[in-house]
Chain A
Amino acid sequence: MPLDIDALYRQAQDMVRDLPEAGENPQLAEAQRYLCRADPQLLRQKLLARERATAKIPWLVAPPPLFDSYTVVAADGSPIPPDRHSPVRYFVVNFGHVELTYGARPHAEIASELRLSYTEEDLYFDPQDKRIPIEGTRLGIHMSVGEMVALRGAARDVQLPAVALRDGSLILWQLQSRDEDPDLCAAYLERFLSALEDLRQQDIPVASYVSYPGSHDVANSLRLLLCDYPDGCRRCPQATDGQRLCRFIGTLVDRQLYQGLLSPGERSDVFESQSAILSQYGAHRVRFFYLDVGGEIARVEAPLWVMEDPEMRDAVHSIVYDQCQRSAQYPPYPAVLIEAHEAAVISTGGRQVVEEMMARLLASKGYPYLRSAKDHSKRSRGV
Chain B
Amino acid sequence: MAESGQARIGEIVETESTRFVAESFELHRPPALGQLVYAPGDDDTCLYGVVCYGTTASPDPGRRAVRRSTEEVFDQAVYEEHPQLELMLRTEFAARLVGYVDATRVHHYLPPQPPALHYSVYACEIDQVARFTERLTYLRSLLELPEIAPEQLLAAHIREVYRLRGEDRDWLSRAAREVAGLLKNDYERLMTVLYGIEP
| Co-complex (A, B) | yes
- Closest residue of B by beta carbon distance from A111: B87
Q: Which of A108, A329, A342, A347 contacts B83 (CB 8 A)?
A: A108
Number of residues of chain B lying within 8 A (CB) of chain A? 16
Q: Which residues of A contact B84 (CB under 8 A)?
A: 98, 100, 108, 110, 335, 339
State the CA gap A267–B87 with chains docked (Å). 32
| Residue interface bits A149-192, CB-to-B below 8 A is 1, else 0 | 00000000000000000000000000000000000000000000
**B86 is an interface residue with CB less than 8 A from chain A:** yes
What is the distance, in angstroms, from B71's C-beta to the closest C-beta of chain A?
14
**A102 is an interface residue with CB less than 8 A from chain B:** yes
| Residue interface bits B63-76, CB-to-A below 8 A is 1, else 0 | 10011100000000
**A101 is an interface residue with CB less than 8 A from chain B:** yes
Q: Are A107 and B83 in contact (CB under 8 A)?
A: yes
Q: Are A335 and B82 in contact (CB under 8 A)?
A: yes
Q: Which residues of B contact A107 (CB under 8 A)?
A: 83
Q: Which of B62, B63, B67, B82 contacts A326 (CB 8 A)?
A: B82
Residues of chain A in range 315-368 having any CB-CB distance to chain B below 8 Å: 326, 328-329, 335, 339, 342, 347
- Closest residue of B by beta carbon distance from A101: B83
**A237 is an interface residue with CB less than 8 A from chain B:** no
Q: Are A106 and B68 in contact (CB under 8 A)?
A: no
State the CA gap A342–B61 with chains docked (Å). 13
Residues of chain A in range 92-110 having any CB-CB distance to chain B below 8 Å: 98, 100-102, 106-110
Q: Are B87 and A108 in contact (CB under 8 A)?
A: yes
Q: Which residues of A contact B63 (CB under 8 A)?
A: 342
Q: Which of B66, B68, B83 contacts A100 (CB 8 A)?
A: B83
State the CA gap A107–B67 with chains docked (Å). 20
Q: Are A106 and B87 in contact (CB under 8 A)?
A: no
Q: Are A328 and B83 in contact (CB under 8 A)?
A: no
**B102 is an interface residue with CB less than 8 A from chain A:** no
What is the distance, in angstroms, from B86's C-beta to the closest C-beta of chain A?
6
State the CA gap A329–B82 with chains docked (Å). 14
Q: Which of A109, A329, A347 contacts B66 (CB 8 A)?
A: A329
Q: Which residues of B contact A102 (CB under 8 A)?
A: 81, 83
Q: Which of A101, A110, A326, A335 contacts B87 (CB 8 A)?
A: A110
Q: Are B83 and A326 in contact (CB under 8 A)?
A: no
**B125 is an interface residue with CB less than 8 A from chain A:** no
Secondary structure call for the B interface: loop
**B60 is an interface residue with CB less than 8 A from chain A:** yes
Residue of B68, B79, B82 contacting most chain A CB atoms (<10 Å): B82
Q: Are B60 and A342 in contact (CB under 8 A)?
A: yes
Q: Which residues of A contact B167 (CB under 8 A)?
A: none
Q: Are A106 and B83 in contact (CB under 8 A)?
A: yes
Residue of B79, B81, B84 contacting most chain A CB atoms (<10 Å): B84
Q: Are A106 and B66 in contact (CB under 8 A)?
A: no
Q: Are A108 and B86 in contact (CB under 8 A)?
A: yes
What is the distance, in angstroms, from A364's C-beta to the closest C-beta of chain B?
24
State the CA gap A102–B82 with chains docked (Å). 8
State the CA gap A100–B80 with chains docked (Å). 11
- Closest residue of A by beta carbon distance from B80: A106
What is the distance, in angstroms, from A70's C-beta to the closest C-beta of chain B?
12
Residues of chain B in range 137-184 having any CB-CB distance to chain A below 8 Å: none
State the CA gap A228–B88 with chains docked (Å). 57
State the CA gap A342–B62 with chains docked (Å). 11
| Residue interface bits B109-153, CB-to-A below 8 A is 1, else 0 | 000000000000000000000000000000000000000000000
State the CA gap A100–B60 with chains docked (Å). 20
What is the distance, in angstroms, from A1's C-beta to the closest C-beta of chain B?
30
What is the distance, in angstroms, from A68's C-beta to the closest C-beta of chain B?
13
Q: Which residues of A contact B83 (CB under 8 A)?
A: 100-102, 106-108
Q: Which residues of B contact A328 (CB under 8 A)?
A: 66-68
- Closest residue of B by beta carbon distance from A106: B83
Q: Which residues of B contact A106 (CB under 8 A)?
A: 79-81, 83
Q: Which residues of A contact B82 (CB under 8 A)?
A: 326, 335
Q: Which residues of A contact B80 (CB under 8 A)?
A: 106
Q: Which residues of B contact A98 (CB under 8 A)?
A: 84
- Knowing A108-B86, A110-B87, A342-B60, the reply to whether A326 touches B81 (Cβ < 8 A) is yes
Q: Which residues of A contact B85 (CB under 8 A)?
A: 108
- Closest residue of A by beta carbon distance from B70: A325
Q: Which residues of B contact A329 (CB under 8 A)?
A: 66
State the CA gap A328–B68 with chains docked (Å). 6
What is the distance, in angstroms, from B60's C-beta to the closest C-beta of chain A?
7
18 pairs, CB–CB < 8 Å, chain A vs chain B: A98-B84, A100-B84, A102-B83, A106-B80, A106-B81, A107-B83, A108-B84, A108-B85, A108-B86, A110-B87, A110-B88, A326-B81, A328-B66, A328-B68, A329-B66, A335-B82, A342-B60, A342-B88
A101-B83, A109-B87, A328-B68 known; 10 other A-B pairs, CB under 8 Å? A100-B83, A100-B84, A102-B81, A106-B83, A108-B84, A108-B86, A108-B87, A110-B84, A326-B82, A335-B84
**Would you list the 6 A-B pairs with minimal beta carbon distance, nearest first?**
A108-B83, A106-B83, A108-B84, A328-B66, A106-B80, A328-B68
